[in-house]
Amino acid sequence: MAEFNVTINGEKRRLEVDPNTPLLWVLRDHLNLPGTKYGCGVAQCGACTVHLNGNAVRSCQLPISAVADNEITTIEGLSENGDHPVQKAWLEHDVPQCGYCQAGQIMSAAALLKNNPSPSDEDIENGMNGNICRCGTYTRIKAAIKSASD
Ligand code: FES
C-alpha cells in the first residue's frame, strides 16, 4: 500500500492503494465513479477511456503510481450537467444502443475535438479507431462528432 494524491474531476483526493492498481479500479472501486467501464482490461477496446491532463488514455492499463499528481477527468466530470458539446451531439444523434462503450467513446471524442476542433472524416476514423462498439454504432458516432465539430 502507498499514498497518492490525484485530482479527479477537479477535486483533490488522497488515496491509499497498492501502487500497481489500475486507475480504472481506483475510479470504480475506491472513488465510486462507475461511469468508466471495464471491457477488455488490456488497452484494446477503449471502454475505460478517461482524460489524463486532457488527453484520452486507457485507464485499465495505467497503474495509479503512474498518474499520481496529474489531472484526471472521467465521464462524470466531463461537464456540469451533461451539456458538453459531444454529449449534446450524442443525444441529438441518438448514438447509443446498449450503451456500454459509450462513456469511453464520448471521452475519446471530446479529447479528439479538443486537439482538433475541425477533424476530417479520416481524422475521426483515426482518432476513434481504438474505441470498439459491439453494437456497431460507428456511423452515428461519426455523425455526432461531425456535428460537435466547428
Ligand atoms: Fe481498457 Fe478495454 S478495458 S481498453
The predicted-structure confidence for 43-57, as pLDDT tens digits, reads as follows 999 999 999 999 999
pLDDT at 112: 98
- Give 134 Cα–ligand 1 centroid separation in angstroms: 13
- The dihedrals phi and psi of 37, each to the nearest 5 degrees, come to -105, 155
CA distance 89 to 145: 7
Which whole number is the average pLDDT over 128-150? Answer: 96
Which whole number is the average pLDDT over 3-18? Answer: 95
Domains in the chain, CATH or no CATH each:
2-77 (3.10.20.30), 85-148 (1.10.150.120)
| Cα–Cα distances in angstroms (integers) from residue 134 to residues 31, 55, 71, in the given order | 28, 24, 30
149 touches 117 (CB < 8 A): yes
143 has a pLDDT exceeding 90: yes
144 has a pLDDT exceeding 90: yes
pLDDT at 150: 87
Ligand 1 atom with minimal separation from the 39 CA:
3
- Give 132 Cα–ligand 1 centroid separation in angstroms: 10
pLDDT at 141: 98
Which whole number is the average pLDDT over 20-33? Answer: 97
Ligand 1 atom with minimal separation from the 132 CA:
2
- Give 80 Cα–ligand 1 centroid separation in angstroms: 25
pLDDT at 79: 97
Ligand 1 proximal residues by C-beta, below 6 Å: 38-41, 43-48, 58, 60
Whole-number average pLDDT of the chain: 97
CA distance 109 to 56: 9
Ligand 1 atom with minimal separation from the 48 CA:
1
- All three cell numbers of 62, joined, read 495505467
70 has a pLDDT exceeding 90: yes
33 has a pLDDT exceeding 90: yes
